[in-house]
Structure 1
Amino acid sequence: MRVKLEDVCERGSSNIKQSDIIKMSGNYSIYGASGLAGKVNFYHQEQPYVAVVKDGAGIGRTTLNPAKSSVIGTMQYLIPKKNVLPEYLFYAVSYMHLEKYYTGATIPHIYFKDYKNEEFNLDNIEKQLEIIDVLGRCKKVIEARKQELVELDSLTKARFVEMFGDPVSNPYGYDKVALSDLADIKIGPFGSLLHKEDYIDGGHPLLNPSHIVDGKVSPDDKLTISDEKYEELSAYQLKTGDVVMGRRGEMGRCAVVPEDGFLCGTGSMLIRTKGEVTADYIQKIISFPSFKKTIEDMAVGQTMPNLNVPIVSGFQIIKPPMEVQDRYYAFAEQVNKSKFDTMTFAPIYAIINLYLHTYFYQGRR
């Protein structure tokens, strides 16, 4: 049976602010856009429900939350009716990509009135359980493989410390040189070179500090520029193998650029190795916990820590002999081969997408 979203769920809202729960404690979970926001002594929903981020970062993201829990005001409740299981509703809504309904330039919003007419197929409860079971098993396989990747990353990090030591205390007594001896360094374009009207969907992504997450780039498809603007700002184009580093806010936030086509944002810096060390090596040194603390001490600015080219140029970087570097990267290459074998998610995602498309969105009657 073909149904509209409003046929299977009730809309609910929350007026709880993050600041309201800071000093609260209790046994009941309350969720925000990034997941669990805290524990409180109350709950708003007696049964499991679907929650959608309706304001700000992560807009449209969908989660399945447990019974006896709540959400803060940036989230929207979708409370299942008796004809749909919460898990089935979650999978259906997740596939709708509700972010496409956003409005607002400064703080994006989505509203239930705009997406309540989204249509999908609603099967009987027995069929819903079957579909939930298949998708749940696929999800468990993906989670297990992701955990393997985490463990392989930990192995590489442990080997890095074993061979190079703490880059600040330098227990092996390696030579130290200024970062400017190892790399060219450039600050991102001034804000006056980029204006609101320059931003388009689906162009060349900007990489600001917020687009560097856990040592990897995480671009925003809505914060991009045209080919023409990209060429106009050619001096700030990031190349494969560059390091992009946030110059304000959280110190030491940096990532290796995986491919051409990105632009260094106004809040970032471009670091391009001269070849004596790899970009990966520079990224790992700068993001090392003790090195991040050193950077914090070097940063300027009262309200928000800030870095400039002279400060970054003066970073003291340990420079191990090439044979030591080569041994490390030979080890890292073997680990990466194992990671590649583990990252064969494509067949699993294909099954998930097939189920989502077939059971939720093909025009079956």
Structure 2
Amino acid sequence: MFGDPVSNPMGWERKSMKSLMKIVRGGSPRPIKNFLGGKNPWIKIGDATKGDDIYIYSTKEHIIDEGLKKTRLLPEGSLIFANCGVSLGFARIIKFQGCIHDGWLAFLEFDENVIDKVFLLKALNSVTKYFRDTAPDGTQPNLNTKIMGDYQIILPPIDIQRKFVDSLKIIRTAKRPDTNCPTKKRGLV
């Protein structure tokens, strides 16, 4: 539908991520063991990698209020992106207010009349290899807010982005085990 997002054969407009949104990095209270046990969800990579869903619904760990001073608390619906190590290069949307550590970036304050959140997530997830190749060498690959901010993302017209997202919703619904979908019965999903 969109072609390769890196080579952009469709000729879609491109804009830097930083021109479309605010990009922030998480923070980690240390040592973390001193801050565990509270009521504030603490989003770890493991919470985002169970299943193939684009959403995170819960966390295994929580931190105490004192830890909020050293982390980044995000509102429900925030889009986050794993920015380092072997997990670098995937995005998720959180379905609750929660805290992210410094292994996450978050994309905030963007206009969903310009770029759809789920489209953005899928676009980012489709270029994982690009981000891994772009990350500076070191003990582990690591993307900072500048590298991510400079990334030129394709911007198809918003109506096309939304049609794409609507198609994803149909597919996600049909894949659910509790769905009685005619397409599923015919083996098309």
**Structure 2 partner of 1:224:** 62
Gaps of 5+ in 1: 1-162, 345-365
Task: Describe the SS at the equivalent of 2:6.
Answer: coil
Quick one: distance in 2 between partners of 1:323 and 1:278?
9
CA distance in 1, matches of 2:90, 2:168: 22
Q: Are the structure 2 counterparts of residues 337 and 218 from structure 1 closer, same or farther at C-alpha, using a change threshold of 3 Å?
A: closer
**1:248 and 2:84 matched:** yes
Secondary structure in 2 aligned to 1:212? Answer: helix
Verify: 1:184 aligned to 2:17, yes or no: no
Matches within 5 A, 1:324-335: 324-335=160-171
- Give the structure, 1 or 2, with the largest relative contact order (CA under 8 Å, sep 6 or more): 2
1:196 equivalent among 10, 33, 43: 33
Q: 1:270 aligns with which of 103, 106, 119?
A: 106
Matches within 5 A, 1:63-74: none
Unaligned runs of 5+ in 2: 180-189
Cα distance in 1 between the residues matched to 2:82 and 2:173 = 30
State the match for 1:167 in structure 2.
Answer: 5
- State whether residues 205 and 219 of structure 1, in contact with CA within 8 Å, keep that contact through their aligned partners in structure 2: yes
Task: Name which of 43, 48, 57 aligns with 1:212.
Answer: 48
For the 8 Å contact 1:272–1:279, the answer to whether it is kept is no
**What value does the CA root-mean-square deviation take over the aligned residues?**
2.6
CA drift of 1:238 comes to: 2.0
Q: Is 1:284 paired with 2:122?
A: yes
C-alpha displacement of 1:308: 0.7
1:339 Cα shift?
Answer: 5.1
Cα distance between partner residues in 2 of 1:254 and 1:188: 14
Q: In structure 2, the residue corresponding to 1:164 is in which secondary structure?
A: coil
Counterparts of 1:231 and 1:296, CA distance in 2: 30
| Counterpart residue identity of residue 324, structure 1 | I
Question: Quick check: 1:205–1:224 contact (8 Å CA) kept in 2?
Answer: yes
Q: How far did residue 297 of structure 1 move? A: 2.0
- TM-score of the aligned structures, taking structure 1 as reference length: 0.43
> Within 1, Cα distance between the matches of 2:170 and 2:14?
28
Identity of aligned residues (%): 23
In the aligned structure 2, how far is the partner of 1:180 from the partner of 1:167? 17
| Bigger CA radius of gyration | 1
Q: Distance in 2 between matches of 1:190 and 1:197?
A: 11
Q: Name 1:26's counterpart in structure 2.
A: none
Cα displacement (A) at 1:261: 2.4
TM-score by length of 2: 0.78
3-state SS in 1 of match to 2:5: coil
Q: Deviations over 1:210-235 (max 9, x none)?
A: 332144437542x3113x236546x7
* Structure 1 stretches of at least 4 aligned residues deviating more than 6 Å after TM superposition: none
Aligned length: 173
User: Which letter does structure 2 place at the counterpart of 1:224?
Assistant: H
Aligned equivalents of 2:124, 2:99: Cα separation in 1: 21
Q: Quick check: 1:252–1:295 contact (8 Å CA) kept in 2?
A: yes
Q: Determine which structure has the larger helix proportion and give its number.
A: 1
| Aligned equivalents of 2:78, 2:18: Cα separation in 1 | 14
Partner amino acid, structure 2, of 1:311: I
Counterpart in the other structure of 2:148: 312
Letter in 2 for 1:261: Q
